[in-house]
Amino acid sequence: MDKKGEVLKHIRCRKGDIAPTVIIPGDPGRVERIVGQMDHADLLAQNREYIVYTGTYKDVPITVCSSGIGGPAASIAFEELIKLGAKVFIRVGSAGGRQKSTPIGTPIVINATYRGEGTSKAYLPAEFPAVADLDVTNALVQALKNRDETYQVGLGFTRDAYYVQDKELNTLLTDCNVLAAEQEAAVLFIIGSVRGVKTGAVVSTDSNIWLEKQPTLAEKEELFFKGERKAILAALDAAVILHGQEAHLF
């Protein structure tokens, strides 16, 4: 088989499989909820944490690929998708709210992140900012406005160890108006800078460490899934907006 037809090791796709615009959830289960909102989508591959569909939404070609949890697994998906022609990435994820005023289930557009994980530092030194593409960020905001949703826009905190909390750092970042903590956005933004692709992220909050009264897990999940649906629709609508702007042509 010639190189053009080679299947890549992890996502198990080849040239021609991947649309220029890719929506990236971490959770493989979220892939099904995203493609359920599309006009149609074909399952192309399922390997490890990577489930890949390509289809259309409002006649715009879109690929959906899960990245798993955390930077190392996500970076593999991003790199292989870029090799196969992806130009625009929209992360749709979950995150912990980091402001007392942020209810669980709030869609948050992350425009930049504190790099508290390790993977992005293999690409660029810690001083280099992890910043989303302005076109993608603006498209996500416009999509949420068009649906008359309540949302927030601002800074994220990308971290590695889910069950380790640095209370001093958490307080510092909250005081500096960080809105959400998650595990992949910084890696996406940094790879976007290194590889020259457009990136953005929208998350739904599934928890909030600062709430005085913590909901039960069932209550959190009910609120989260409502917010997740808003984030999914915002990402799909943003893909349509960006396609109309020919954001993938560069």
User: Which sequence positions are flagged as catalytic?
Assistant: 206
Tell the burial category of 128 from Cβ atoms under 10 Å away from its Cβ (0-12, 13-18, 19+). Answer: middle
User: What's the rounded Cα separation, in Å, for the pair 49 and 164?
Assistant: 23
Residue 110's H or E segment, with its range, is strand 107-116
- The DSSP code for 123 is T
Alpha helices in 91-198 (DSSP H): 134-146, 167-175, 185-195
CA distances from 25 to 31, 60, 67, 143, 250 (A): 7, 19, 6, 18, 24
